[in-house]
Amino acid sequence: MLKRVAQVVVFIGLLSSDASGEESLCAALRPLAKDVDDHRMRETDLTRARFDEALTYFKEDLARQHAEAKSIEEVTNKGSFWIAYDNGLKVLEGYALRQAALLERSRRVGVKGRGPATQRFREFLAKTRYPD
């Protein structure tokens, strides 16, 4: 899992600045029934500010928690750890995929259809939920 985090962080480093402002790549999500909690991630959740928060969590907060704990299990046995960890990974990966799709779109001006980066981003959003 940590290897995946490292790969995402490296990839995101290459895309450290926004490729575009508020350009939308995906259609709006369909509303759920009123009595259903909506845990779906939205494209608007994948902002530079949220990316920075997630990166800070992995580089500083999590490292500090591990350094202060007597054992790794002391940190990982908490439900709040897994929620923050999972959400942080999703934000990092989603932001990177979104930036790659926006970059791809900017390079494909005048070309019909969507490229593979845009398709990967749309698939990511379609399957991603926040933990319950």
**Which residue ranges make up each domain of the chain?**
41-132
Section 106-119 average pLDDT: 73
pLDDT at position 19: 44
pLDDT value at 90 more than 90: yes
Q: What is the pLDDT of residues 48-65, one digit of tens each?
A: 999 999 999 999 999 899
Residues, the chain: 132
Distances (CA, A) of 100 to 24, 60, 78, 79, 82: 13, 26, 34, 32, 27
pLDDT at position 4: 60
Asked whether 103 and 15 are in contact (CB, 8 A), the reply is yes
pLDDT at position 55: 95
pLDDT value at 9 more than 60: no
pLDDT value at 10 more than 50: no
pLDDT value at 7 more than 90: no
pLDDT at position 14: 44
- In our burial notation (b when 16+ CB lie closer than 10 A, e otherwise), range 15-26 reads beeebeeeeebe
Taking alpha carbons only, the member of 80, 75, 92, 65 closest to residue 6 is: 92
pLDDT value at 110 more than 70: no
Report the distance separating Cα 5 and Cα 56, nearest Å: 13
What is the pLDDT confidence band of residue 8, given thresholds at 50, 70 and 90? low
